Amino acid sequence: MKYVLMFAETPQYAEDLAAMDDAQRQAAYDEVGRWFADNAARIIHHAHLQGPHTATTVRRVDGGHEVTDGPFVEGKEIVVGFVEVEVADLDEALAMARSWPACPIVELRPVSP
């Protein structure tokens, strides 16, 4: 089964990361690198997204389309990256999500065949 794991950052997480000194921040990035290495065989694709200020949103409005700058939803939690994985089942995808060492929120969604 294929799943997408979306990593969401909270304002507090971003503040905590920014407050780290260089060595602490590098240690945090190293943990993420280890997670990717440990799960490389199951990861099909991954990407880090640019900030929400770079988003463009298309909305269907009154039979037409409205294009606006900015994210679709204003929120305190921001999706900052994702991986697409090939796993046996939801339990395996959940184990990967539980082991994610960075952003405090991971949303999982199955990929349609």
* Stated length of the chain: 113
Give the largest Cα separation in the chain, rounded: 53
CA distance 113 to 108: 16
62: left (phi over 0), alpha (psi -120 to 50) or beta: left
Amino acid 59: pLDDT = 82
DSSP structure string for 4-70: EEEEEE-HHHHHHHHHS-HHHHHHHHHHHHHHHHHTTTTEEEEEEPPPGGG-EEEEEETTEEEEEES
Confidence of residue 71 (pLDDT cuts 50, 70, 90): low
Higher pLDDT: 69 or 16? It is 16
Q: Report pTM.
A: 0.84
Amino acid 73: pLDDT = 60
Amino acid 27: pLDDT = 97
Amino acid 44: pLDDT = 97
Amino acid 72: pLDDT = 61
Confidence of residue 74 (pLDDT cuts 50, 70, 90): low
Domains delineated in the chain: 2-110 (3.30.70.1060)
* pLDDT tens by residue, 6-65: 999 998 999 999 999 999 999 999 999 999 999 999 999 999 998 877 888 888 889 999
Q: What is the CA radius of gyration of the chain?
A: 16
